[in-house]
Amino acid sequence: NKLVSWQYIKPLESWNAALQLNMEKQQLEQIHPADIADLLEEMDYKRRSAFIEHLNSRQTIDALAELELETQVEIFRQMEQQQALTILAELPPDEVADILGELPVDKMEGLLDLMAEEAEGVRELLQYAAGTAGACMTTKYIRLSGWMTVSQAIGEIRTFASTAETIYYLYVMNERGFLEGVLSLRELIVAEEESVLYDLMRRKVVAVTPKETTPRIAGIMAKYGFLALPVVDGQGKMLGLVTVDDILSMLVEERDKFDAPPLLAVSARIGRER
């Protein structure tokens, strides 16, 4: 039941000297990573590092994943290589690609060279343009085969759930990685344990190519009410998965980009006229 030391809790801004954070560590653990990310956004680098020391590693990673790309990049620019590697290993590959893509090339290559099996997937993601399915897809999804029974599939999900981006949809692929069908977790758990996925899955799968743009993907998700969509190449080979939360954050980023400038432009014009 350790308290966050007062020495680290400085006012966020000099004009707001009264604002201090007084919280038990236990309480800190209850704050959602997205809210922690908001706090981190407000701090300068020094305070940020001091604050992060009070988070457990799960919280640090989840909060880092929720930060604005700009802030993530600022953090990774200054971070020791070893620490950077430890954190990058825990972040989803699409986040990693976004961050590395913004770092100086020598730093990016240095990190990629030292990353384990992750590097290959990240290198692949790095080649797609920002705002496309390719750039925001994850390569961490659960791969199932059509001949599996429901209970084998559930076993497979148990094994890989902690590292997969989503488990709500289960994609059935052949041994060469071509997408053959899909079923939802709900459909799987209500099915007979001995049924075979081939007999349960939907064969008409809605998918996007890596070049598909965020607004169009959002449109498809809204139309069908899907929480995720598979990304396939021209031949139908599965490349990745885009989830609705990634698409939503990208839409929100776009909206903020387009919403902010007119306000600034107006005040700038008024300023000049005086």
Q: Does 129 bind ligand ATP (CB under 6 A)?
A: no
Nearer to ligand ATP, 63 or 229 (CB): 229
Whole-number Cα distances in Å, 30 to 20, 37, 66, 210, 241: 18, 13, 16, 37, 30
Q: Which residues pair with 213 in a beta bridge?
A: 132
Q: Does 141 bind ligand ATP (CB under 6 A)?
A: no
Only segment of 11-19, 97-105, 198-206, 241-249 that touches ligand ATP (CB under 6 A):
198-206
- Closest separation in Å from C-beta 230 to ligand ATP: 6
- Please give the residues from 208 up to 267 whose contact with ligand ATP meets the rule CB under 6 A: 225-227, 229-230
Taking phi over 0 as left and psi of -120 to 50 as alpha, with beta for the rest, 31 belongs to beta
Rounded to 5°, the CA angle 106-108-112 comes to 115
Nearer to ligand ATP, 49 or 149 (CB): 149
- Closest separation in Å from C-beta 97 to ligand ATP: 23
Helices within the chain (DSSP H only) = 25-28, 33-42, 45-52, 57-66, 69-78, 81-88, 93-102, 105-114, 118-126, 133-136, 150-160, 185-190, 197-200, 214-224, 244-273
Q: Does 183 bind ligand ATP (CB under 6 A)?
A: yes
Nearer to ligand ATP, 45 or 224 (CB): 224
Long-range contacts of 9-17 (CB under 8 A, 24+ apart): 10/47, 12/42, 12/43, 12/47
CB 262 within 8 A of CB 248: no
Q: Does 169 bind ligand ATP (CB under 6 A)?
A: yes
Distance from C-alpha of 219 to C-alpha of 232, rounded to nearest angstrom: 18
Nearer to ligand ATP, 6 or 224 (CB): 224
Nearer to ligand ATP, 12 or 167 (CB): 167
Only segment of 14-22, 31-39, 158-166, 177-185 that touches ligand ATP (CB under 6 A):
177-185
Q: Does 200 bind ligand ATP (CB under 6 A)?
A: no
Only segment of 130-138, 178-186, 243-251, 254-262 that touches ligand ATP (CB under 6 A):
178-186
Q: Does 184 bind ligand ATP (CB under 6 A)?
A: yes
Nearer to ligand ATP, 51 or 226 (CB): 226
Q: Does 186 bind ligand ATP (CB under 6 A)?
A: yes
Of the residues 9, 205, 239, 250, which one makes contact with ligand ATP according to CB under 6 A: 205
Distance from C-alpha of 239 to C-alpha of 208, rounded to nearest angstrom: 10
Distance from C-alpha of 140 to C-alpha of 131, rounded to nearest angstrom: 19
Q: Does 195 bind ligand ATP (CB under 6 A)?
A: no
The count of chain residues that interact with ligand ATP, using the rule CB under 6 A, is 15
Q: Does 182 bind ligand ATP (CB under 6 A)?
A: yes
Distance from C-alpha of 79 to C-alpha of 104, rounded to nearest angstrom: 13
Interacting residue ranges for ligand ATP, rule: CB under 6 A? 168-169, 182-184, 186-187, 202, 205-206, 225-227, 229-230
